[in-house]
Amino acid sequence: MTNTISHWVNNKEFAGTSSATAPVTNPATGETTGQVALATVADAQTVIDAAAAAFPAWRDTSLAKRTQVLFKFRELLNERKGELAEIITAEHGKVVSDALGEVSRGQEVVEFACGIPHLLKGGFTENASTKVDVYSIRQPLGVVGVISPFNFPAMVPMWFFPIAIATGNTVVLKPSEKDPTASLWIAKLWAEAGLPAGVFNVLQGDKTAVDELLTNPKVKSVSFVGSTPIAQYVYATGTAAGKRVQALGGAKNHAVILPDADLDLAADAMVNAGFGSAGERCMAISACVAVGPIADDLVAKIAERTTPLKIGDGTQDSDMGPLVTKAHRDKVASYIDAGENDGAKIVVDGRTVIPNGGAEGFWLGPTLIDQVTPEMSVYTDEIFGPVLSVVRVETYDEALDLINANPYGNGTAIFTNDGGAARRFQNEVQVGMIGINVPIPVPMAYYSFGGWKASLFGDSHAHGMDGVQFFTRQKAITSRWLDPSHGGINLGFPQNA
């Protein structure tokens, strides 16, 4: 018998009305460890209705009381984040240290949200006109939906829900069906922290649950992270229903290595950014652009560092774990096949990996491919696996043009010791997040996270002040307090005096 992973409503588990489920597996063994409930429309409406019912009281809860709950949640999360990391490893496959890093980065947004009283301060202008004051306030939206991907089952939801809750909204989180247990663990932690029933809810499911979040009039906004085709669908469907939508899509992140770069530093960075979390990161580097005569040396240094990596069960002494599902493992492997057939050179072949893990695990080792050209599918497509392609160019301008011509614009990096070249790159590249000698330029919580072009649909990035503004609406108030006897009829347009 396997565990059934249910919804969470009003601070308790909710089985729902459907018998439909999807299997949850341990990627290191291939074993089915649970069955996640797949919501019906009625189930989704039950969850949304609970969030809507809880909104008025939470909206009117003082900032002081809200922040007390946030601080308590932060403390509980800090004490027990090791538990959450182990849950993530069991269902996603990433090594425990990587999962712990994910939780810690999500916790930074919780800490940012603890400062919400300062962030919600409005403006005030006294005597804008004679005895007339003008001021602004920000108020919550209502029920907000969060649809999160499999690759960061803790961190990505935490980009959104701490700020949403801090600003007075109620939340319905729809996690990935591939690793849903982390969401329930987080929900129970919120309840323990004292969050009132109905403020944080979990809706398990597939497209049926997503579509209800996108169309139900009680849901006022949707935050999404996933592939570009689904991000486009979420944005189009949600905005057509009158909602605010921030939909973060796919990526094809390039790192430019200039001839003056420290090649040892660059090679370390390419291995870390290309193969960490088995490449299942939207900020992973998948295209290494070698400029000028350094390509042979750079490829050799990357290969030297890649070959000894230990691949295996994330709970053991491993550098990299399995991929999340067998289907995804096979899809990633097919891109290696295609690159080889297109004439690229397989320098390190992950298809032949001998892992320290179960024979039925979803294994694919780090793969380094040289002599990749821009028309190959291994370059054009978001592979989302441990595949690093090396593209050789002669000049900085060729490298820049390559990146700017790409339909994605999520993250990029440049490795150089030339400050002028780095400054020029950050000015000219058409990408939302840029690293200078930093391979994975994920901003701190008080800056925004988001890309350009096909990597983002909507006007708002995640967390930072973008998040505060996304989850609130502004009111501008003009007031005058005078003796009740003052008045008179004047049909003219109001004028300042």
State the CATH number of the domain containing residue 213. Answer: 3.40.605.10
Same domain membership, residue 472 and residue 423: no
Say if residue 484's pLDDT is above 80: no
The string of pLDDT tens digits covering residues 202-222 is: 999 999 999 999 999 999 999
How many domains would you assign to the chain? 2
Confidence of residue 489 (pLDDT cuts 50, 70, 90): confident
> Mean pLDDT in the chain?
96
8-state DSSP, 449: B
156 with 273, same domain? no
What is the residue range of 344's domain?
Answer: 253-436
Percent of the chain with pLDDT over 70: 99
For the stretch 269-303, pLDDT in tens is 999 999 999 999 999 999 999 999 999 999 999 99
Which DSSP string do the residues of 77-89 spell out, in sequence order? Answer: HHHHHHHHHHHHH
Q: Mark residue 371 as left, alpha or beta (left: phi above 0; alpha: psi -120 to 50; beta: remaining).
A: left
The reply to whether 216 and 294 lie within a common domain is no
Q: Does residue 339 sit in the same domain as residue 428? A: yes
pLDDT value of residue 497: 64
Check residue 488 and give its pLDDT: 74
Which DSSP symbol is given to 276? Answer: G
Least Cα distance to 237 among 252, 219, 263 occurs for: 219
Q: Are 377 and 389 in contact (CB under 8 A)?
A: no
The pLDDT confidence band at residue 494, using thresholds 50, 70 and 90, is confident
* Residue, of 1 and 130, whose pLDDT is higher: 130
pTM to 2 decimal places: 0.95
Q: Which of 152, 88, 164, 156 is nearest to 120 (CA)?
A: 164
Question: Tell me: the pLDDT tens digits for 426-458?
Answer: 999 999 999 999 999 999 999 999 999 999 999
What is the rounded CA–CA span in Å between residue 252 and residue 282? 8
Position 485 pLDDT exceeds 60: no
Q: What would you report as the CA-atom Rg of the chain, rounded to the nearest whole angstrom?
A: 25
For residues 466 and 427, state if they share a domain. no
pLDDT tens column, 82-98: 999 999 999 999 999 99
Report which residue type is found at 293. P
Cα distances from 420 to residues 88, 254, 414, in angstroms, run 42, 20, 12
| Contact call for residues 158 and 110 (beta carbons, < 8 A) | yes
The predicted model gives 133-139 an average pLDDT of: 97
Same domain? 379 vs 408 = yes
- The yes-or-no verdict on residue 479 having pLDDT over 60 is yes
- Asked if residue 288 lies in contact with residue 56, where contact means CB atoms within 8 angstroms, the answer is no
Please give the average per-residue pLDDT across 27-45, as a whole number.
97
- Report the catalytic residues: 282
Structure confidence at residue 239 as a pLDDT band (50, 70, 90):
very high
